[in-house]
Structure 1
Amino acid sequence: MTHRLLVLYPEPADRAEFERYYRDVHLPLCAQLPGVLSIDFSLAIPESPYFAVFEATFADADALRAALESPEGQTVAADVPRYATGGATVITFAAEPFPLE
């Protein structure tokens, strides 16, 4: 069962600066997380209480935990206050697949 890291971002003070920094600096840092299998994100989400959402997939809970505890994971976490002026909500969870028939 894969594990996911979900980050929800409320409205930032400056949308353009958030997007610039997020694309140019933060996402490349996230791509360096050990064991990350995929990364998806969305910005300026219409009709949502959140401005942005980020999701990373890992093979299992141990891989996710190792990524968060790694030096790369600590760098990613320390970077969030540099662009997320509204803060961020972080959720980790096991993703149970549902078979499509």
Structure 2
Amino acid sequence: MFKMVALFKKPEDPEEFDQYYFGTHLPLTEKIPGLRKVNVTKFTGSPMGESPYYLMCEMFYDSKEAFKEASKTEESKASGKDVMKFAGNLVTFMFGEEVNE
């Protein structure tokens, strides 16, 4: 499986962030055609203490090609525009492939 990972730094107001993320952004993202699964993790710490990251969202697709096709859809464009609106200064995106399938 191919995945896109969004890592979010800790927001100034975590409660407000959570309300928007889980109430508005995540439902928008889940509408993307071809998106197979979404895993969201809230970080509680690290071996060194506090984590620089607050939340991670993993979005799974069947393949890199499936991701590319999904990225062309209006739903994907809406999700991308939305994340930049509310968390553009907090989010880092990465791509990867599962190796332990």
Segments of structure 2 that go 5 or more residues without pairing to the other structure are: 46-50
Give TM-score, length-normalised by structure 2: 0.87
Alpha-carbon distance in 2 for matches of 1:88, 1:35? 22
One-letter amino acid matched to 2:24: V
**Paired position in structure 1 for 2:96:** 93
* Deviations, residues 57-99 of structure 1 (Å, cap 9, x unaligned): 100011111112211111001001333264210011121225x
**Paired position in structure 2 for 1:28:** 27
**Paired position in structure 2 for 1:46:** 44
**Paired position in structure 2 for 1:18:** 17
Query: What SS is found at the alignment partner of 1:51?
Result: strand
Alpha-carbon distance in 2 for matches of 1:81, 1:21? 13
Aligned 8 A contact 1:7 1:91 in 2: yes
Query: What SS is found at the alignment partner of 1:34?
Result: coil
* Deviations, residues 28-50 of structure 1 (Å, cap 9, x unaligned): 0111011111101023x111220
Segments of structure 1 that go 5 or more residues without pairing to the other structure are: none
Report how many aligned residue pairs link the two structures. 96
Aligned 8 A contact 1:11 1:86 in 2: no
- 1:5 equivalent in alignment to 2:8: no
Give TM-score, length-normalised by structure 1: 0.87
